[in-house]
Amino acid sequence: MDLDKVERVYTNYAGMYDQTFGRVVGQSRESAVRGLPVQPGDRVLEVGIGTGEALPLYPRHCEILGIDFSEGMLEKARKRILTHQLDHVTLRRMDAARMELENDSFDLVMAAYVVTAVPDYRKVIREMIRVCKPGGRIIMLNHFSNGNKVIAAVEKMISPLCKHIGFRTDLSLSTVLEGTTLVVVRKKKVNPLRFWHLVECVNQKNGHAIPAVSVK
């Protein structure tokens, strides 16, 4: 999956997204976004905003920037902003692996169903860390493969197929976090089938101290 393919696949898919994948993950997205630790005045970055289904779920007391590479997905998100009159939201087309954004500029960076859908997740994680303030939150809502050998075998089998539609299933959380400054402070399964995980991390760059945490 390269960037041209991201644009092609997701722009072709944009018209059906909300009724298909969007519907499947709707419940987990809603439960995850409504529980985010967003404080009044926070600057929030949503990476791979897609059609913007999460946008109406955020509190209005924050400022949100949504980025995506697919023009078709962004077009849907723009319509949603108008429909819901979301004046606190801005959208920009951008490659999440090369964000045109300042260092340390967001309190919270969210990526929902994105880490396994980008051409190079390492670059995207590195950029999320760079633009997030020291001590800020980086949150991923995603499927991560686990140690179960049977599930792992099935995941490996279907992964190339999913990759074709822009999604891989064989990535583990420890692989994603390896070598980063991220410390997991909350990990929660967010849907009845327990397929999707909400993973909340503190960005411990520049030696920022971790607040008292509970890992569930």
Ligand X SMILES: C[S@@+](CC[C@H](N)C(=O)[O-])C[C@H]1O[C@@H](n2cnc3c(N)ncnc32)[C@H](O)[C@@H]1O
The least CB distance from residue 61 to ligand X, in Å, is 21
Applying CB under 6 A, does 109 fall inside the site for ligand X? no
Name the one range near ligand X by CB under 6 A: 57-65, 116-124, 168-176, 204-212: 116-124
Answer for which of 24, 97, 162, 171 binds ligand X (CB under 6 A) is 97
- Specify whether the CB–CB gap between 65 and 43 falls below 8 A: yes
Name the one range near ligand X by CB under 6 A: 57-65, 80-88, 110-118, 154-162: 110-118
DSSP-derived secondary structure letter, 210: P
Give me the phi and psi of 199, to 5 degrees please: -120, 115
Transcribe 137-165 into DSSP letters: EEEEEE--B-S-HHHHHHHHHHHHHHHHT
Which residues fall within 8 angstroms of residue 117, CB to CB, at 6 or more apart?
A: 1, 6, 48, 166, 167, 168
Reduced to 3 states (helix: H, G, I; strand: E, B; else coil), residue 115 is coil
Answer for which of 32, 86, 118, 177 binds ligand X (CB under 6 A) is 118
Name the one range near ligand X by CB under 6 A: 114-122, 152-160, 180-188, 193-201: 114-122
Applying CB under 6 A, does 127 fall inside the site for ligand X? no
CB neighbourhood size of 11 (10 A): 17
Applying CB under 6 A, does 6 fall inside the site for ligand X? yes
Which amino acid is located at 52 in the chain?
G
Applying CB under 6 A, does 196 fall inside the site for ligand X? no
Beta bridge partners of 43: 63
CA distance linking residue 153 with residue 13, whole number of Å: 28
Please count the residues of this chain forming the interface with ligand X, following the rule CB under 6 A. Answer: 24
Applying CB under 6 A, does 131 fall inside the site for ligand X? no
The least CB distance from residue 132 to ligand X, in Å, is 16
Applying CB under 6 A, does 91 fall inside the site for ligand X? no
12 to 71, contacts with ligand X by CB under 6 A?
A: 22, 29, 48-50, 53-54, 67-70
Extended strands (E) in the chain = 43-47, 63-68, 89-93, 106-112, 132-142, 182-189, 197-203
Applying CB under 6 A, does 117 fall inside the site for ligand X? yes
Answer for which of 36, 73, 86, 138 binds ligand X (CB under 6 A) is 73
What does the binding site for ligand X look like in residue numbers (CB under 6 A)? 3, 6, 10, 22, 29, 48-50, 53-54, 67-70, 73, 95-97, 112-114, 117-119
